[in-house]
Amino acid sequence: MNRQELIANRRAVARCHMRLTIFHLGGVFALLIAGARVDDYLTEAHSIAHSIFVLAILPAILLLVASLVWQLKRAFRKNNLLCPVCKARLDGSNGQVAVATGICGECGNHIIEECGEHS
């Protein structure tokens, strides 16, 4: 991977990260709003339905959060944004160090091909 590829991959993952976060947080808020509306509708007479609804909405929210985490991990792998040596994510300060110096900010190994190098 050269420096330009690393920069392009960081941008691709940042866009993907933003899109996935907005989508999943939107889903969580939609579930919470739907839960509040249904909660207003259900009365004491519907206590079993209320319990089932509450027991179903919490795992749904956890599934959305787990899906977000899993898809972000996949985006890092797919865009080759992991250190080839230690598999640390090359976002945040790790990625900034790698772009600036060619060295992984986590393990300190050289991970960027310089011009003229081939691997």
Q: Is 5 in the site for Zn ion (CB under 5 A)?
A: no
CB nearer to Zn ion: pick between 75 and 111: 111
Question: What is the SS3 assignment for 35?
Answer: helix
Q: Which of 86, 96, 100, 101 binds Zn ion (CB under 5 A)?
A: 86
Q: Measured between alpha carbons, how far is 50 from 38 in angstroms, rounded to an integer?
A: 8
Q: Is 42 in the site for Zn ion (CB under 5 A)?
A: no
CB nearer to Zn ion: pick between 6 and 88: 88
**Nearest approach, Cβ of 62 to Zn ion (angstroms)?**
31
CB nearer to Zn ion: pick between 68 and 104: 104
Q: Is 112 in the site for Zn ion (CB under 5 A)?
A: no
Q: What Å distances lie between residue 38 and 27, 47, 51, 72, CA to CA?
A: 16, 12, 12, 31
DSSP state letter for 44: G
Task: Say if CB 90 and CB 97 are below 8 A apart.
Answer: no
Task: Say if CB 107 and CB 101 are below 8 A apart.
Answer: no
Q: Is 110 in the site for Zn ion (CB under 5 A)?
A: no
Contact residues for Zn ion, defined by CB under 5 A:
83, 85-86, 88, 104, 106-107
